Amino acid sequence: MAPSLPARQDTITLTGITAVGHHGVFEHERRDGQPFVVDVVLHLDLRPAGQSDDLTKTAHYGELAEQIVELITGEPLDLIESLAERIASSVLATFAVEAVEVTVHKPKAPIEVPFGDVAVSIYRERT
């Protein structure tokens, strides 16, 4: 008998959340700030919200966006990896989701050669 496949989770995706933060290892990054762009994917069961048309049975993506902007503009960190972890931890603590994917883009990173983007992506599950 073949093993059953795990249930696929529904998702809510919010992309392009942009704010100026003061993250980076260089003094001028912390002093001057720069734009950071965050994409987030929430993994959760959307059936209760879909069947009831009740906002309280889903993750409110307006509140999610505001929370992420607060984290981008909040306490400076050296690494975008740390910012991604902070965002993922906050989402898991605030919203009834099973897992979250977070991508942090740093399009103005201090790199001396032409480039399009620098991004870090993480996936974290509720433990």
Supply the CATH number for residue 34's domain: 3.30.1130.10
The whole-number mean pLDDT for each consecutive block of 10 residues of the chain, a chain of 127 residues, reads 66 98 96 97 96 95 97 97 98 96 97 96 94
106 counts as catalytic? yes
Q: Is 105 part of a structural domain of the chain?
A: yes
Q: Is 107 part of a structural domain of the chain?
A: yes
**pTM of structure:** 0.91
Q: Is 3 part of a structural domain of the chain?
A: no
Residue 94's Cα: distance from chain center in Å? 13
The number of residues in the chain equals: 127
The domain total for the chain is 1
- Would you tell me the crossing angle of helices 61-73 and 80-94 to the nearest 10 degrees? 140
Q: Is 74 part of a structural domain of the chain?
A: yes
Q: Is 116 part of a structural domain of the chain?
A: yes
DSSP-derived secondary structure letter, 2: P
Q: Are 21 and 76 in contact (CB under 8 A)?
A: yes
Q: DSSP E strands: which ranges in 2-118?
A: 10-21, 34-44, 99-105
Catalytic residue among 15, 82, 106, 114: 106
Q: Answer positive or negative: Cα dihedral of 100, 101, 105, 110.
A: positive
Q: Is 66 part of a structural domain of the chain?
A: yes
Q: Is 22 part of a structural domain of the chain?
A: yes
pLDDT score recorded for residue 6: 55
pLDDT score recorded for residue 95: 96
Show the domain range for 68. 10-125
Q: Is 1 part of a structural domain of the chain?
A: no
What residue type is 74 in one-letter code? G
Task: Name 26's Cβ contacts closer than 8 Å, sequence gap at least 6.
Answer: 110
